[in-house]
Amino acid sequence: MATLARLHEQGFIDLIARLSRRSRVRPIIGIGDDAASLALPPRSRTLFTTDLLTEGIHFRSRTTPGLLLGRKALSVNLSDIAAMGGAPHACVVSVGFPRRTRAAYAADVALGLVQQARRFGVTIVGGDTCASRSLTLSVALLGLVERGGAVRRSGARKGDGLFVSGHLGGSTAGLALLRRGARLGDGMRLTGLRLTPGLRRHAAAAVRRHLDPTPRVLFGRALGLTGLATSMIDLSDGLTPDLQRLCHASGAGAIVEEAAIPIDPAARALMKRRRAIEAALIGGEDYELLFTARMEHETLIARVARRLRLPVARIGEILPRRDGIRVLNREGRYRPLPRGGFEHFRISRPRH
């Protein structure tokens, strides 16, 4: 079996360079020099973000096809640019591969990175590969946004509606299935679990949701360009912890109606009702957008979302800071804020 030891250090980045030839953004200097050189448009602000995926914490290579790992390493960064209302532009990639990594797996990671970059109009302009004890992927992504156009976490005001895109809890359901032995094989077919055809369809959707999330780049961009969102954050750690961040940055409180939370159909089909609600409230990695907007813009927001064929739901309202963050359950009672979420240093068990 060909392992990565046969590729010399530059091999992975060279492969990315070859695969990236048809990219949209043409750098002045691309892969192959000490640094890339870009001609960024003069009137924009430059957004800059980075996210790291590391084996045993964010994924296990045994359960994660290389193609999807490459895609996800870019997706988590695309989601950050989306949450600022920006357009992703160019990125660099740092990868540490254990020596035992199969060359085919590394090539799949490269292909996944390039696929996702092309899909979202991003060019990979540089990178660094080296040997590493555990598989690590770090992407740093540049985006562009109009002056004054970036949507911050800090703009939520009392009386704003609280909105979320897509469905929540699907990624957590998918992670639970991976832990129980589910695998995505060739052609993204689900194996490893005995399920009825109906449940199998949901299970495959949940696992794909976890391994191959779709960053809401166009919707975030639409909210940024129109100025509809007063504040925004992407849901990487979970609805509750990320809402806390948004409220903290805005100096605000919030009320969330449990009944209004769009629970992922797969989570609903595969989990008990209470667990599905918990997954939606504190499960991470859905990479949907949580944002606030003035109540009178609700119809407009729904129209934008419909054009992009993305569900959007109003799940609550921004309150004064002193009211804190409250969740109203179906019985009309406040429930204590669930604890947890995917903050890596707070949970003692690994995430897979």
Query: Should residue 164 be labelled a site residue for a copy of itself when binding is judged by CB under 8 A?
Result: no
* Of 82 and 319, CB closest to a copy of itself: 82
**Of residues 111, 199, 249, 255, which one binds a copy of itself by CB under 8 A?**
249
- Is position 346 an interface residue for a copy of itself (rule: CB under 8 A)? yes
d(CA 313, CA 290): 10
170 close to 180: Cβ distance less than 8 angstroms: no
Pairing verdict, β 289-293 and 229-234:
antiparallel
Residues near a copy of itself (CB under 8 A), total = 74
* 221: nearest Cα among 80, 340, 335: 80
Find the binding residues for a copy of itself in span 88-117 (CB under 8 A).
Answer: 90, 92-96, 99
Q: How far is the CB of 50 from a copy of itself (least distance, A)?
A: 4
Cβ atoms 61, 105 nearer than 8 A:
yes
**Residue span 30-59 as binding mask against a copy of itself, x where in contact by CB under 8 A, dash where not:** --xxxxxxxxx-xx-xxxxxxxx-xxxxx-
Compute the distance between CA of residue 75 and CA of residue 247 in angstroms, rounded to an integer: 25
Give the one residue of 5, 259, 260, 295 binding a copy of itself; rule: CB under 8 A: 5
Distance (Å, whole) CA 268 – CA 182: 18
Which region, judged by CB under 8 A, interacts with a copy of itself, from 79-87, 200-208, 259-267, 276-284? Answer: 79-87
Least separation in angstroms between residue 196's CB and a copy of itself is 37
Distance in Å, CB of 276 to a copy of itself, minimum: 26
Out of 272, 309, 339, 345, point to the residue binding a copy of itself (CB under 8 A).
Answer: 345
All residues at 6 or more sequence positions from 327 whose CB lies less than 8 Å from its CB, including other chains: 255, 256, 257, 258, 281, 334, 335, 337, 338
Smaller CB separation from a copy of itself, 82 or 190: 82
Residues 132-161 within binding reach of a copy of itself (CB under 8 A): 132-134, 136, 138, 140-143, 145, 147, 150, 152-154
Q: Which of residues 186-245 bind a copy of itself (CB under 8 A)?
A: 232-234
3-state secondary structure of 146: strand
Could you say which residues in the range 286-315 bind a copy of itself, by CB under 8 A?
none
Least spacing, CB of residue 294 vs a copy of itself, in Å: 21
With a CB cutoff of 8 Å and minimum separation 6, the contacts of 168 are 235, 239, 261, 262, 263, 264, 267, 279, 280, 281, 283, 286, 288
